[in-house]
Structure 1
């Protein structure tokens, strides 16, 4: 593996490239990369890798506690796991568009043992999966060697002579105090499970992560069933740090922009120009397919195409009659951009959010229970708006100690209030006006119901079936749970234990945000689900469908119903399907939205 880092600066500000693909050294480099065939997971070669890595990492034991833990013994690796471990050892980095059910959690624990010279590794996971990592660690340690581990202050275990693994939640990287977190640990290996959480370079957590990798020689490994999202931009920086000069994506941000304009799903893509050479090199006729071949045949890329479960997926629409009051309110909202309470909306994103809420029968609004004068509230809004606008502009440059709203507020305070510190300052124009009025107004958020027709229909489904009602809006989920008199599973302390204590003898209401990614165990008790507030992201759908359609599902078919009763809901699902098709075409791993029998798409 080359020891030099790629010429990639995560903090570089650059003018987006014109919508024309130009001849570049990046394209020449990509075309010259070695190619190797994708491993057939059902082949004898795959079985040989399984034998090799199982023998290398297994440990002898006379008795185990697997039954006590409530899981069958794991005594043999899966083919995708063995392949990824082989690539980790040979290449020193892995880019893994690996589908649901191929054993990514096991990889999280075993990769530090496969990487030569690894002493300290950091594992990044969604916060709701930390408990699952602890359970998996206890299970894998019964029959395999595992690293020493530390999961916050709640769990730790020392394995003499083995590397150390520190488990950090992505949310911890989002906090202001985490600016020096990675610097204090100085890991030589970083593993990002559910690596799609790092797709957006504009977030504080991704900026801190990228900055550490740019400044240190840590090796990087990442996998997710939805790694590439819906843009070349989503995978380029992850590939750069995992595979370095061996990345099949451009390393130069400007070239990434050019490729994105030509390859991303669009009604008016840029001309391919020199990218025609990629078609010639791969022998493919479509650019998405050509990029796919170039990616999956690159050393260090582990891409699963085969599903890890034989059960089929059926997706159908749950029909519901929309009350006239909801239709009228939505029509007025789309025409005037004014909420039913008179609040004027300022941008298209806010309009779309409110429309989706109203399609579910309600909308959120701020209330001011202390009764501040309208003039004060208006002045407060204006100062808040000016401050947030200035912060957004400043955050476009991800500088150390200036890469989150809280850190910017502290930097502005150091400048304007003269607070002594060696940290950087910021001469904000709006800070003083904002802090002068910030605490003068107290607000709360409340849900205003127009008609709870959708919640009543979801509750009816829940009472007539034994499945999961998935929600995105907290007020909606709470109303369904109240109407159906069934448990509501949101986030917070103990959320994983509570939902995994369910035994499928009743329906439940579950938060997509808290339980729609990575949660394992629900498939053993449920096979039916109602997606009441459908996501618009193909990645979110892939993760959501993977909660029930995964290894351990005893049924032959997983049944999913979804509402499509307004343009906002229909567009959300259609957009997710469009994204899933792009991801499957480029990344290669089958997307559940694409392999499912989608009844409402049948002519």
Structure 2
């Protein structure tokens, strides 16, 4: 991992950090030395576990062209149903879920499709595309977020006429939405585009014993059902039950629910289907099986990197671990 490098930016030069180095020394080594010599810092050169941790990239096969097209669309700011994202984080989240084979779950696609069928409009929320265009212009006070624009649109159409000092927004799509919004309810299910990743993870779970790590509960349930193994999501019951596993069968586990605070050294193989983008979470996840009490000769981790969204999380967050090329 480069010094000061961001996702997709490559390595950056050490710059002013070189002034901390002694002649012929590496920046990382000297930074570590200076940190360990700092008063109040307690450090040890001994590893907590004297066993190797081997991380390998996994390519689960060709990504379906339809899925790649939808991921590209998401990066361009548009959802699979044609609506525009209002925040870049929404686009990134959508691309990650599409990389897993499904669209965004909950009150996104399901609600949009229902509202489109009821109103005959392409937009599934009050002026989604109109809001997006409005936000791209010059921001005004009380009109600089989707929520504030919605309130301004309501003020523009209330009876009796609003006479306060807050701005109103004459949204062209508001009246169409207001006529149907009570009938539009969130859709709780994910909409699947492809099962290629599910099939690959299920095959891995059947061929060996290990933990299949997933970000999305819908994905975990689908893999577990296909492979015939248990899925451990959130909640107290799942948290207690996963600790009772003997390590003699594969399991599917939620990263959010079980990547921290669990002793799972009865397993020595891991498949990370949806690589986290957070470095601290990576270290926590890897430490579930690479920890004292591990009886295997080494801990193996395979990471799915079939899209740029997942490859970025892998290459930029695992620099401290041993990485071997895929077999």
Tell whether the structures are fold-level matches, with TM greater than 0.5. yes
- Point out where structure 2 has 5 or more consecutive residues left out of the alignment: 136-141, 149-164, 169-177
Using the alignment, how far apart are the partners of 2:84 and 2:146 within structure 1? 21
Tell me how far 1:442 sits from its aligned partner: 4.0
The answer as to whether partners of 1:527 and 1:557 remain within 8 angstroms in 2 is yes
The answer as to whether partners of 2:206 and 2:227 remain within 8 angstroms in 1 is yes
More helix by share: 1
Identify the residue that residue 599 of structure 1 maps to in structure 2: 324
Using the alignment, how far apart are the partners of 1:449 and 1:390 within structure 2? 28
Using the alignment, how far apart are the partners of 2:262 and 2:301 within structure 1? 17
The answer as to whether partners of 2:214 and 2:272 remain within 8 angstroms in 1 is yes
Secondary structure at the counterpart of residue 495 of structure 1:
helix
Partner residue of 2:275 out of 504, 522, 534 = 534
> Does structure 1 residue 501 correspond to structure 2 residue 241?
no
> Does structure 1 residue 378 correspond to structure 2 residue 118?
no
Using the alignment, how far apart are the partners of 2:113 and 2:273 within structure 1? 35
Tell me how far 1:429 sits from its aligned partner: 8.0
Partner residue of 1:315 out of 55, 74, 78 = 55
> Does structure 1 residue 563 correspond to structure 2 residue 294?
no
Using the alignment, how far apart are the partners of 1:473 and 1:526 within structure 2? 21
Tell me how far 1:504 sits from its aligned partner: 1.6
Identify the residue that residue 149 of structure 1 maps to in structure 2: none
Q: Deviations over 1:484-509 (max 9, x none)?
A: 12111111123321100111221110
Deviates more, 1:377-386 or 1:493-502: 377-386
Identify the residue that residue 194 of structure 1 maps to in structure 2: none
Partner residue of 2:40 out of 285, 293, 300 = 300
Using the alignment, how far apart are the partners of 1:512 and 1:456 within structure 2? 19
Tell me how far 1:528 sits from its aligned partner: 1.2
Tell me how far 1:287 sits from its aligned partner: 4.7
Identify the residue that residue 58 of structure 1 maps to in structure 2: none
> Does structure 1 residue 514 correspond to structure 2 residue 274?
no
Using the alignment, how far apart are the partners of 1:295 and 1:562 within structure 2? 31
Using the alignment, how far apart are the partners of 1:312 and 1:269 within structure 2? 29
Q: Deviations over 1:256-295 (max 9, x none)?
A: xxxxxxx6346556952xx76x526x66755544433322
Identify the residue that residue 56 of structure 1 maps to in structure 2: none
Secondary structure at the counterpart of residue 443 of structure 1:
coil
The answer as to whether partners of 1:279 and 1:285 remain within 8 angstroms in 2 is no
Secondary structure at the counterpart of residue 38 of structure 2:
coil
Identify the residue that residue 156 of structure 2 maps to in structure 1: none
Q: Deviations over 1:1-51 (max 9, x none)?
A: xxxxxxxxxxxxxxxxxxxxxxxxxxxxxxxxxxxxxxxxxxxxxxxxxxx
Using the alignment, how far apart are the partners of 1:533 and 1:551 within structure 2? 26
- Point out where structure 1 has 5 or more consecutive residues left out of the alignment: 1-229, 232-262, 393-426, 431-436, 581-590
Tell me how far 1:467 sits from its aligned partner: 1.0
Point out which structure has higher relative CO (alpha carbons under 8 A, 6+ apart): 2
> Does structure 1 residue 488 correspond to structure 2 residue 231?
yes
Using the alignment, how far apart are the partners of 1:359 and 1:369 within structure 2? 21
Secondary structure at the counterpart of residue 378 of structure 1:
coil
Number of residue pairs aligned between Structure 1 and Structure 2: 278
> Does structure 1 residue 338 correspond to structure 2 residue 78?
yes
Secondary structure at the counterpart of residue 447 of structure 1:
coil
Using the alignment, how far apart are the partners of 1:562 and 1:300 within structure 2? 37
Identify the residue that residue 144 of structure 1 maps to in structure 2: none
Using the alignment, how far apart are the partners of 1:428 and 1:301 within structure 2? 54
Partner residue of 1:362 out of 102, 106, 127 = 102
Q: CA RMSD in A?
A: 3.7
**Residues 383 and 354 (structure 1), Cα distance of their counterparts in 2 relative to 1, 3 Å cut:** closer
Deviates more, 1:450-459 or 1:352-361: 352-361
